[in-house]
Amino acid sequence: MTGRADGRADERHAVVAAAVRLFERRGYDATTMGDVAEEAGLSRRSLFRRFGTKEDILFAEHEDLHETVRRFLDAAPGDDPVATVTAAARMVFQGYAAAPDTSVRRFRLVRAVPRLRDREIAMTARYQSAFRRYLAGGERDTERALAAEAVAASVIAAHNHVLRSWLREPDRPVPWDRFDRAMAFVTEGLGDVLRGSPGAGGVGGSGGEVVVAVYPPGTDPDEVARRVRRALDPGDPSAAIDSRGRI
C-alpha cells in the first residue's frame, strides 16, 4: 500500500516538475494542457483526469501537503499546541526544501502571474485557518481564541519571511536555524496563553490583560524590559527608573 502511494506521489511530482519547467520556458499563459501532457509523457485525457487545470497542476503538491498537515494536527495530543503548530509549519517548509528546483521556478511564476498569487494567498489562508482552529481548541471570544488568531498569523508570516528569503537565493543551505529562531521569536509571548489551561485568561491564565508592545529596531533591551514591567505593574517603583537612573 505504501509503495503504491509513494509511486503515485513520485509520478505526481514528475508531472508538476515538467509543467513548471514548461511554464517557465514558454510562459504560463502560452502553455496549454496539451503541451503539459506531451512534456510529461501523458495523454490529454489522463492529465485532465488527474488535474483539472494548469493552476491545479502548479499547486497539486501544496494541496497534498495541506492535507498531510491537517491530518497531523488532527492526530496531535494538544499538550503543547504551540510546538505542534511550529512543527506543522516546519513540515510545510520541508515541502519546499525537498524539491528546491521546482519550488524556485514556482516562486518566480507566482510572482509574475497575478492570478497565481491569488491562489497562493488562498492556500496561505487555509494554513492559517487550520493553525488558528487547532490553537484555539474550540474556544471563541476568549483571550485564548485571540491569542490563537495572533499566533497563527505570526507563524505564517515568519514561515513566509524565511522561505521567500531562501527562495531568492536558493544556492544557500536551507536555513533551518533561522526558521527555528523565527518561530521562537513570534511565539514567545502569546504562546504562554495557549500553553495554559483552556479558558484561562491573560498570560499564564492570570486573568489579566494581554499587553502587546512594539518598539523601533535598535531600542535598548533594558529600556524595553523597563517599559513592559511598568505596563504590567504600574506600582513597581523599579520599573519607573531606567538603567541610567532616568524616569
pLDDT computed for residue 69 by the predictor: 96
- Under DSSP, the state recorded for 21 is H
pLDDT computed for residue 220 by the predictor: 61
pLDDT computed for residue 111 by the predictor: 93
Take residue 95 and report the three cell numbers written for it: 515541502
pLDDT computed for residue 197 by the predictor: 45
For residues 84 and 134, is the Cβ–Cβ distance under 8 A?
yes
pLDDT computed for residue 233 by the predictor: 59
Angstrom distance (rounded) from CA 111 to CA 117: 7
Q: Which residues of 26-46 are buried (b: 16+ CB within 10 A; e: fewer)?
A: eebeebebeebbebbebeeee
Q: Which residues of 142-164 are buried (b: 16+ CB within 10 A; e: fewer)?
A: bbbbbbbbbbbebbbebbbebbe
Q: Which residues of 208-220 are buried (b: 16+ CB within 10 A; e: fewer)?
A: eeeeeeeeeeeee
Angstrom distance (rounded) from CA 217 to CA 202: 27
Angstrom distance (rounded) from CA 189 to CA 168: 30
The DSSP-derived string for 211-240 is ------TT--HHHHHHHHHHHH-TT-GGGG
Take residue 112 and report the three cell numbers written for it: 509574475
Which residue ranges form the domains of the chain, and what is each CATH number? 1-50 (1.10.10.60), 59-205 (1.10.357.10), 213-247 (no CATH)
Angstrom distance (rounded) from CA 184 to CA 63: 27
- The answer to whether the predicted template modeling score (pTM) of the entire model surpasses 0.85 is no
pLDDT computed for residue 246 by the predictor: 43
Average pLDDT per run of 10 along the chain, which is 247 residues long?
58 89 93 92 90 92 92 92 96 94 93 92 95 94 92 96 95 94 91 65 44 54 60 54 44
Helix or strand run (H / E) with residue 241: none
